[in-house]
Structure 1
Amino acid sequence: MAESVTVRDILEALDWITGGRVVKGPGDLGGQNPFVLTKSSGIPGKSVTETPGLVWGDPSARVRRAAVLMTLTESAIELAAATGVECLVAHHPIADGANSGGVTLKNYLGLYGLHALELHEAFHGLHPGIPWLHGHRALEVDIRAGGIHGNILYYGEALPEVRTLGNLLDRLESLMDLKTEREALEQERRLRNCPDLLETCVSTRGHILLGTPESPVRRLLHIFPHTGFTPEHLEAAKAAHPDADTVLATISRVYPGNPLIDKARELGMNFLCGNSHALEILENGIPLARALATRLPGLEVRVFRERVTSYPLDEVGSGTIRDYGRDMASRYLPGTR
């Protein structure tokens, strides 16, 4: 059995991995740590502050098994407790109630003796893996495009083997093992007798919005639309890098009708979407998990990977559970009788 480490050891490892970005004291929460950020859409009561490091738990507690995941959910909490995982390292920020099944973190994590840490913006920009996976070498990185913290923009040069948009998509298909994802979905459709079963990784595969598979690609502007990237940012980036011929959107993407597509067309650029957020557990989660395992060889590190599926209402679950749903709705929920 692997020798256990402490939660404090994990914290120190994360601080080492990030070059000192983990919260170390009250001063970091008062403005000294630039990675302590409040995210808000202006919706009353819904803002959240990122605090890279320990969110809940005892620093002196011993841990044999930890898991790296993207977003803390009640499903992750239940899986951890049922499988002997004692410490959860979430990439995305953790909010009381929102990330713990609608109850307090104290009650839910405390019930199971779990410790939780987060490491979001503090982990971004530490490795060039996302550009590499998408077939380019980042020549410049701006993590504050347009003055917005976290609005990341890469200016990159296509790798020698990536000469066209089609090459880039084929690269993603192979590296992300999307063939297996499609085969797993087809198996599940057959098993459940539900041909209309959908799954995130398959539904959000990379695709071209402007250009063709044969369109050449040499220099790219790699953007993340959900961070607040605007057509004005794209225009400024193109002016700064006039040789850029392709816009690459990853993590999030855009759909027909988005003004970013119109701006790229106006600028004479290709536009394609790469990996979606559903694959960030591979892009950022695996490097983080590997760094933790290397730094703490006495710690067993697992990876929690989300898989979200979509069913037609009349095909979800067993016939019995569908009957149960109809019965509960018709007998007890207003407006359905």
Structure 2
Amino acid sequence: MTLRQTQTEVGHVLDALNTISKGRMVMDWNEITSGTNPYVVMKTSNIPGKNVMEIPGLIFGSKHKPVTRIGVGMTLTESMIEMASAMKLDLIIVHHPVADAASSGGVPFADYLPLYNLALIEMHEAFHGLHPGLTLLHGHRKLATDISFCGIPGNVLHKGIALEGVHTAGDILARIDHWMGREIDVDLLEAERAIRGESTLQEATLSNPAKLLSGTPDRHVKHILHFFPHTGFSLQHLEIALQMYPETDTIIASISRVREDHEFVVLAKQRGLNFILGNPHSVEIMENGLPLAYALELLLPGVEVFLLRERITAVALRDVGHSKMVEYGRGMAEAHLVSAPSSHAVQ
């Protein structure tokens, strides 16, 4: 059956997102300069010129632009923009904050997006904490959520209790694999390796599986702390959280990850706690993107919504399988990039 498309406007999509986010979206640019919207935040590592302001709202395009096809993605890239062009999408909605050039192939939005008549909306902090999906996938029901733990915007901490049927650390690991369809990604990677002739090909999701770093698979789980290391969550924050919730027996870190010798893991081992690495960032498009996409479909019936999922792979240079491109790459490197400069070269 062919979907009957219904036309709306970017402004109506923004209204729908404001409903979804419980009023967190920037609906007027005065909210940015006035400081009245707490979800407009600056992110910086104090590297000159590399900070970015998160603005949950319409970043590029007109509110009156007609919309019949929407793409929902996680992080805007030039590949996503080109896919949107090929699919004749009208609007891209991404979770993560966007920045001129960094998110658009090294060029300003104003030079790129108009080529394909694309509007652009971002959300990020305005979407955090709105649904219990991440905790559900990781085997617990959240009892409390702080999306600015210790006063840091985006430093999310969930306090949860194990779901019925989840009794051990091994149950959580098995649940993650089952819900995320890991076996499909395994089959896909094996097929791609065979087709390309690239035996060392790796894929981001499979390279970062759920893993137990402290405890044993049969160890009991009930009281869970769940956080995301890349948000600025520190050892001090973990110690504070454990003081707040001394009944904790299991720690889950997901989206981002830590190594086996990280201070979080050392502390967990010292205190006899389970420490589980959950889903990696590469599947957040399913964890957060999919619920957002379905919510838009429910609020905007007849508008087509597409999930824009990027798949990241890596292969050893010695194993790149397409011989013509190997010939091309080596030829360019040898003739133009590492050869001695010509006497006519500009100094």
Shorter-chain TM-score range: over 0.9
Tell me the residue number matched to 2:123.
119
- SS in structure 2 of the partner of residue 248 of structure 1: strand
Q: Does 1:26 align with 2:29?
A: yes
Q: How many angstroms apart in 2 are the aligned matches of 1:83 and 1:3? A: 17
Aligned residue-pair number: 337
Q: How many angstroms apart in 2 are the aligned matches of 1:32 and 1:291? A: 26
- Opposite residue 60 of structure 1, the aligned amino acid is H
Q: How many angstroms apart in 2 are the aligned matches of 1:108 and 1:206? A: 38
Q: How does 1:127-146 map to 2 (within 5 A)?
A: 127-146=131-150
User: Cα deviations across residues 81-112 of structure 1 (Å, max 9, x unaligned)?
Assistant: 01111110000001011000000101100111
**TM-score normalised according to structure 1 size:** 0.98
Tell me the residue number matched to 1:318.
322
Deviation of the 1:267 alpha carbon: 2.2
Deviation of the 1:336 alpha carbon: 8.3
* Contact 2:72/2:289 (<8 A) preserved: yes
Q: What percent of counterpart residues are identical?
A: 45
Q: Does 1:13 align with 2:16?
A: yes
Q: How many angstroms apart in 2 are the aligned matches of 1:130 and 1:179? A: 20
Match of 1:106 among 106, 110, 124: 110
* Contact 1:92/1:119 (<8 A) preserved: yes
Q: How many angstroms apart in 1 are the aligned matches of 2:6 and 2:246? A: 55
Q: How many angstroms apart in 1 are the aligned matches of 2:147 and 2:122? A: 19
* Contact 1:70/1:285 (<8 A) preserved: yes
User: Cα deviations across residues 215-251 of structure 1 (Å, max 9, x unaligned)?
Assistant: 1111111010000111111111111111100110001
* Contact 1:23/1:53 (<8 A) preserved: yes
Match of 2:202 among 188, 198, 204: 198
Tell me the residue number matched to 2:5.
2
User: Which piece of structure 1 moves more, 281-290 or 25-34?
Assistant: 25-34
- SS in structure 1 of the partner of residue 241 of structure 2: helix
User: Cα deviations across residues 264-313 of structure 1 (Å, max 9, x unaligned)?
Assistant: 12222110101011111111001100110100002100001110000111
What's the Cα RMSD here? 1.2
- Opposite residue 104 of structure 2, the aligned amino acid is S
Deviation of the 1:317 alpha carbon: 4.8
* Contact 1:5/1:298 (<8 A) preserved: no
Q: Does 1:266 align with 2:270?
A: yes
Question: Which blocks of at least 5 consecutive residues in structure 2 are unaligned?
Answer: 342-347
Residues 235 and 336 of structure 1, relative CA distance in 2, 3 Å threshold? farther
Match of 1:220 among 208, 220, 224: 224
* Contact 2:254/2:280 (<8 A) preserved: yes
Deviation of the 1:335 alpha carbon: 6.2
- SS in structure 2 of the partner of residue 60 of structure 1: coil
**TM-score normalised according to structure 2 size:** 0.95
Question: Which blocks of at least 5 consecutive residues in structure 1 are unaligned?
Answer: none
- SS in structure 2 of the partner of residue 107 of structure 1: helix
- Opposite residue 290 of structure 1, the aligned amino acid is Y
Q: How many angstroms apart in 2 are the aligned matches of 1:278 and 1:289? A: 17
Q: How many angstroms apart in 2 are the aligned matches of 1:218 and 1:103? A: 49
